[in-house]
Each structure stands twice: as C-alpha cells, then as structure tokens.
Amino acid sequence: GGYAVLKGLQQAMRLPADRMLPSFATLRDFGNTSCSTTWYVMAYMESIEGIKRNQTIMQIGMGGGMKAGVNVWRALRDVKVTHNAWRHLNGRPVTEADLPRPISDPTCRIGGSAAAAAAFAPGDLQAAFGQQFSMQEEVPAH
C-alpha cells in the first residue's frame, strides 16, 4: 500500500519506525507493486539487514476490498544475499532521513513488523496480538 496504509498499520500495531523501514524503503524505491510488494520487502531484509536462524518474520499483504493475507515465517538458517532489486543501495540501509516523509511515532513501543514484512524479536507476536503464537517444529531437509 501507500504511505497512509503503512502508517495506519504502524499505528494500529504500535510498531516503531525501525521495524517499518523495509516497507517504507520499498515504497520509496518501487512504489506500490501490488502483490509483489511483500517480496521486495523480504528481499530488502535479506539483502540489507540479513535474517538470522530462528528469526520470526511477519508478512502482511493487503488488497482492494477485504482482501488480506498474513504469513508468519521462521528462518531455518541465516540468510544474507544481495538481491538485484536492492543492488543500487550497495549494502547501505535506508534510514528515515532518506524517506520523503517521516515515519517515527513516539507512541510506537512494541517491536515487530507490518505492511509487507519485517523481523520480530522473541515475544513480539504475543505482545502485538495479546496471545501466544505456536510455531511448528523445524522439519529436517531431505
């Protein structure tokens, strides 16, 4: 979505700006790319921040009408790759100062993520949603 959608999710979920940067970086560099937006955000995280084994990622996609999808992922291994879409950053993360509008909100105190994807620290899902999420056990690769 656009700026207003991302800000709405940020406020509704009380997310700090640093958890929203991958989503706002995607909006800045690629615009609203419909269903592929969440994958641009995931690629940003893999390219710039890296994803650590057992890190939990929440990926939220919203569409026209009442369409929405949420995925919760747990990394089975460390991931740090440079996706072509983010090569232009040369590994440098986007900061809030790089964005056309501010995203900081002093009322956002819970870590987590939204509006495309971002990393959750342990306990963030429970804190954000008021319930315990159970994760499936890791399935060994064959």
Q: What pLDDT does residue 99 have? A: 94
Please tell me the least confidently modeled range out of 31-40, 107-116, 120-129: 107-116
Average pLDDT over residues 55-79: 88
pLDDT in tens, 6-22: 898 889 888 899 989 99
pLDDT band at residue 133 using 50, 70 and 90 as cut-offs? very low
What is the average pLDDT score of the chain? 79
Report the C-alpha gap between 2 and 136 in whole angstroms. Answer: 33
116-120/68-74 β-pairing = unpaired
